[in-house]
Structure 1
Amino acid sequence: MSIYPGRGIHGQVVEAIGRRIVSGKEAPGSTLDLDALEITYDVSKTVVREALKVLAAKGLVDARPKRGTFVRSRSQWSLLDPDLLRWQFEEPSGSGLLDDLYEVRIIVEPAGARLAALRRTEEEVESLAAALAAVDEQADAEAIIEADLAFHRQLLEASHNELLIRMEYIIEIGLRARDVLVHTEGHRDDFLPPHQAVLDAVRRADPDGAERAMRQLLEQAAKDEQQIKNRGGK
């Protein structure tokens, strides 16, 4: 079973069954055999039932008299649940969701950058700068990924819009999956310039410039991702 950090054996069963459902190994409408799950994961029936309760709360499964526990259709899943997002982005078939992520980002992040330019504090500007400063010529893919996540997280926080800030967890989960795809395949040299352009516009309190720079950053990111896909990287 995959590790489900900090949640013990119960969490590992949630992780394992959830991934099987998201991957399609347990098809919508199929019935889950609780006895078989107990044997497969070498856990008690209580652990299996508690794990299924968690998955039911995520919209993945349901239980009915005479029918038992079954997998619900994708249209009924809680797609914005952090675990579901993570499982989907980590699937080989997750490239379609990355396309959806780009559409969300191109709507949300330029607006977030505009607000950040208008509302940011000096401390927030320095936090944005610090995220980029962590990337130098020796930076490996993981360092670039962490810097990217920190930069985009801080930018939304600098918008001082609570609802935009809550979008952070959706974007960050998908952004990590996208960054792993892109930065482990290269494209490290073009990381800093577009991010620096956003930072410079936010620093000088230029909302139009910040919005434009963020849009250009996202368009370049989409091109990098498409190049990887065209080479068979996804």
Structure 2
Amino acid sequence: MTTYGGRGVHGQTVATLGARIVSGALPRGSVLDLAALGRELDVSMTALRESLRVLAAKGLVEARQKRGTVVRGRAHWNLLDPDVIRWRASAGETARLLRDLGELRGMVEPAVAALAARRRDEADLTELDAALEDMTAAGHGDAEAAAAADLRWHRALLRATHNELVAALDSLVEPTLSLRDALVHEARATDPVPRHAAVVDAVRRRDPEAAEAAMRVLLAEAAEDVAGVVSDDRASTEEER
């Protein structure tokens, strides 16, 4: 998926308007005054229209005959788009995003681990081991590297199912998982490597039941980490008030 934050004037225009729509500053049904926006953002009509095409692809706006460009309701947004996820987090929806991700993972990942245990090959095990090594090397000191290693591990597990549709879930889970990792690895007190290694061990032994059970333990620990982050965020918000 392509993100546009920070990519010159075009990227800044997409990010500014997208954030306004997601936050509600530009509410559903609003008709955008392109001339006024062009003056405010100091961009040409060509650049503005290009930005609106990007936002239309994300489901945030649409062009209507005789009305102009209209802000669409939440039901039309591509909620798995990485920019939309980032804008939602900036608008104060981090807790909801993390909750939804946890529920999605709970439904999908235990079954993924079981299927990987049945179908994995040596190349899959090599990649899973490499991801574990990355996680170990990152430790607690490098949140960005730890998050990247975690994503690498999840991609490898999805591919180890040798099911193309399951592997394609990578593009659905990655944006929100990236957000979750960026937050959780900053404050994580527990070492994630042993739980991930337990899943790999079961996959290596071709034990679907053990792989599923190990994944459920991993997810339970992840849920505790998320709960701690969300609780800290809420406490900080209350203190600021």
Same fold (TM over 0.5): yes
Shift in CA distance, 5/93, structure 1 to aligned 2, threshold 3 Å: closer
Task: Give the secondary structure class of the aligned counterpart of 1:184.
Answer: helix
Corresponding residue for residue 155 of structure 1? 157
Corresponding residue for residue 239 of structure 2? none
Corresponding residue for residue 213 of structure 1? 214
Once the two structures are superposed, the pairs formed by residues 151-230 of structure 1 within 5 Å of their partners are 151-187=153-189, 189-230=190-231
Corresponding residue for residue 146 of structure 1? 148
Query: What's the offset of the Cα at 1:109?
Result: 1.0
Query: What's the offset of the Cα at 1:8?
Result: 4.7
* Partner Cα separation in structure 2 for residue 218 and residue 25 of structure 1: 36
Task: Please report the TM-score for the alignment, with normalisation by the length of structure 2.
Answer: 0.87
Task: Give the secondary structure class of the aligned counterpart of 1:142.
Answer: helix
Letter in 2 for 1:163: L
Query: What's the offset of the Cα at 1:5?
Result: 6.4
Q: Which structure has more helix as a fraction of its residues?
A: 2
Shift in CA distance, 6/93, structure 1 to aligned 2, threshold 3 Å: closer
Shift in CA distance, 5/206, structure 1 to aligned 2, threshold 3 Å: same
Letter in 1 for 2:94: G
Please state if 1:74 is matched with 2:74.
yes
* Partner Cα separation in structure 2 for residue 58 and residue 20 of structure 1: 14
Q: How many percent identity over aligned positions?
A: 52
Corresponding residue for residue 18 of structure 1? 18
Once the two structures are superposed, the pairs formed by residues 31-110 of structure 1 within 5 Å of their partners are 31-110=31-110
Shift in CA distance, 46/138, structure 1 to aligned 2, threshold 3 Å: closer
* Partner Cα separation in structure 2 for residue 4 and residue 59 of structure 1: 15
Query: What's the offset of the Cα at 1:143?
Result: 2.0
Please say if residues 89 and 174 of structure 1, whose CA atoms lie closer than 8 Å, have aligned partners that are also in contact: no
Please say if residues 28 and 73 of structure 2, whose CA atoms lie closer than 8 Å, have aligned partners that are also in contact: yes
Task: Please report the TM-score for the alignment, with normalisation by the length of structure 1.
Answer: 0.89
Please say if residues 108 and 164 of structure 1, whose CA atoms lie closer than 8 Å, have aligned partners that are also in contact: no
Query: What's the offset of the Cα at 1:84?
Result: 2.3
Please say if residues 59 and 77 of structure 2, whose CA atoms lie closer than 8 Å, have aligned partners that are also in contact: yes
Task: Give the secondary structure class of the aligned counterpart of 1:220.
Answer: helix
* Partner Cα separation in structure 1 for residue 13 and residue 123 of structure 2: 42
Q: How many pairs does the alignment contain? A: 231
Please say if residues 89 and 98 of structure 1, whose CA atoms lie closer than 8 Å, have aligned partners that are also in contact: no
Q: Please, which runs of 5 or more residues in structure 2 have no aligned partner?
A: 237-241
Deviates more, 1:72-81 or 1:211-220: 72-81
Task: Give the secondary structure class of the aligned counterpart of 2:187.
Answer: coil
Please say if residues 110 and 215 of structure 2, whose CA atoms lie closer than 8 Å, have aligned partners that are also in contact: yes
Q: What is the RMSD of the two structures over their aligned residues, measured on CA atoms?
A: 2.1
Corresponding residue for residue 132 of structure 1? 132
Task: Give the secondary structure class of the aligned counterpart of 1:32.
Answer: coil
